[in-house]
């Protein structure tokens, strides 16, 4: 089984990549930077250089995969620049899902972020 993983060098993604590799999956991780690529390689994944906002890089990395795990996302708490959230979390997710659909990849697992709730003013959601 061949899996494509976005966000594979992040907090959740690293555990996912390691678990998939341990189960015998061939894992391709999307990496925006050399540091992310090094993390993915250290965890046993192949690397596809690219970004969820760059559809050609998604197509190249996803080609031939059986499943896509979309774990990448923008997440900050506090007064960080929230304007990054929509392009990454909305448009990037749309790019991942459309590309997987266009490539006839039969399975997609999507992990969202607590940032969808916005500022909860300390309230539990």
- 50-95 pLDDT, tens per residue? 999 999 999 999 999 999 999 998 877 666 667 777 888 889 999 9
| Structure tokens given for 49 | 């250089």
The whole-number pLDDT of residue 89 equals 86
Q: Taking the model in full, what pTM does it have?
A: 0.88
Q: Which two tokens stand for residue 48?
A: 């596809």
CA angle 21, 91, 73 (to 5 degrees): 40
30-39: per-residue pLDDT in tens? 999 999 999 9
**Structure tokens that stand for 38 in this block:** 């090094």
Q: Which two structure tokens, joined as six digits, stand for 100?
A: 């997987």
Average pLDDT estimate for 26-47? 98
């Amino acid at each position: 089984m061949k899996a494509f993983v976005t966000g594979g060098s992040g907090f959740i993604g690293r555990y996912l990549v390691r678990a998939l590799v341990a189960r015998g999956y061939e894992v391709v991780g999307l990496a925006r930077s050399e540091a992310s690529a090094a993390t993915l390689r250290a965890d046993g994944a192949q690397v596809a250089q690219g970004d969820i906002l760059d559809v050609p890089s998604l197509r190249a990395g996803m080609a031939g995969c059986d499943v896509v795990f979309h774990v990448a996302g923008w997440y900050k708490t506090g007064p960080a620049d929230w304007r990054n959230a929509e392009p990454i979390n909305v448009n990037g997710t749309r790019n991942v899902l459309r590309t997987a659909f266009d490539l006839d990849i039969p399975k997609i697992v999507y992990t969202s972020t607590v940032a969808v709730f916005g500022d909860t003013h300390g309230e539990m959601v």
